[in-house]
Amino acid sequence: MNAPEPIRLDGSVLEGGGQLLRIAVALSALLSKPIAIDNIRANREPPGLKQQHAAGLRLAAEICSARLDGCDTGSCSIVFCPTTKPQLSRCYTADPGTAGSIALLLQVSLPCLIFSPNPSAPPSGLILRGGTNATQAPQIDYTEHVFLPFVRKHLGVQPTLSVVKRGYYPKGGGEVHVSVPPARGPLPAITLTERGPVKAVFGRSYAAGLPKSLAESMRAAATKVLVESGLDPDMIKIDTVREKPADAVGSGSGIVLWAETEGGCIIAGSALGRKGTEPAKVGRDAARELAANLAHGGCVDEYMQDQMIIFLALAAGRSKVKTGPLTLHTRTAIWVAEQLTEAKFRAEESAESAIIECEGIGYTS
């Protein structure tokens, strides 16, 4: 019997970056649908695969024994043809050899590993190397304190994450271990429309290979902005950390903030230190991002907004989530999900917020 023709996707659609690639490959692996993607990262300079994208593709291909063509740095076209369902209860390793984002490696692999015909099967394992706190990607602290709590609370899956070593630009060298037990049946639909008031703000302000005073300056500036935005100073608890040399590769700094609400929502803001940028500005940038994400009244922040789309598409039944204004990343995620699944999305938008509804496919392995 002839193999089915790959579904062709244009990688330049909408956001035209790596996110389109990650969602498409994860859905291809789960649904055993071969795909071909052209014009990869056409809206980036330079276009084509970077080493971190190639590492994510190789990881997904290993999980589902896919035939993978075009997986070279700079390639603008790939073909990904799964030959098996994802192979679970194993340990997989990925390493781009750069400071490429570990969080993005997890984005492509986690959906592949949470569905098993045997819900009592042992967990799958991931050993992911690269950058823990990279530019143009979620910091690993966001993954740990915002993304994974969302997955555990709303999807009934209980992954755990351990940061073994921090890795900073340009060397990378970080290492994160993730354990992924299988879901018990299809993912439940999510209804999340009432956020409730903020009850606490937590944070991690850090410096590695740099004076701790940078972390303290970021924390002080962030706290000042948050108090000026109307938050009670007694509810703000931001830790300052200077990484031990044995716990980090390279030098870097940054801050991640997350607000927990009485409705069980977690909303974040973050910023990375940059050479020539005052640490106080980094702290203010992170706090202003958090304040902006709180101001729209949504139940998820702008980063969780697009990361949840693949799970809404796979869930059983109708999901309904209140968010801030739709981002281009979210529109791209919805487009990819509708190309590869029968999920149906609808967004009701206003100037300040949106309601995302999705009739999911109730995917089971």
pLDDT tens-digit readout, 287-301: 999 999 999 999 999
Is the domain spanning 7-187 CATH 3.30.70.270? The answer is no
**CB atoms inside a 10 Å sphere around CB 244:** 9
Give me the mean pLDDT over the 167-184 stretch.
94
Confidence at residue 1, expressed as pLDDT on a 0 to 100 scale: 52
Domain boundary assignment for the chain:
7-187, 188-195+297-365, 201-282
- Tell whether 51 is in a known binding site: no
pLDDT tier at 120, thresholds 50, 70, 90: confident
- Tell whether 306 is in a known binding site: yes
- Tell whether 307 is in a known binding site: yes
**pLDDT(2) > 80:** no
Q: Is the pTM of the predicted complex or chain greater than 0.85?
A: yes
pLDDT tier at 61, thresholds 50, 70, 90: very high
- Tell whether 107 is in a known binding site: yes
Superfamily for the 201-282 domain: RNA 3'-terminal phosphate cyclase, insert domain (3.30.360.20)
Which of the residues 145, 154, 296, 329 is marked catalytic? 329
Q: What is the pLDDT of residues 303-312, one digit of tens each?
A: 999 999 999 9
**pLDDT(88) > 70:** yes
Confidence at residue 4, expressed as pLDDT on a 0 to 100 scale: 82
Of 33-37, 77-81, 260-264, 350-354, which range is least confident?
A: 350-354
b/e per residue, 184-216, with b = 16+ CB within 10 A?
Answer: eebbbbbebeebeebeebbbbbbbbebeeebbb
CA distances from 138 to 2, 296, 320, 321 (A): 41, 21, 24, 21
- Concerning whether 329 is annotated as a catalytic residue, the answer is yes
- Tell whether 139 is in a known binding site: no
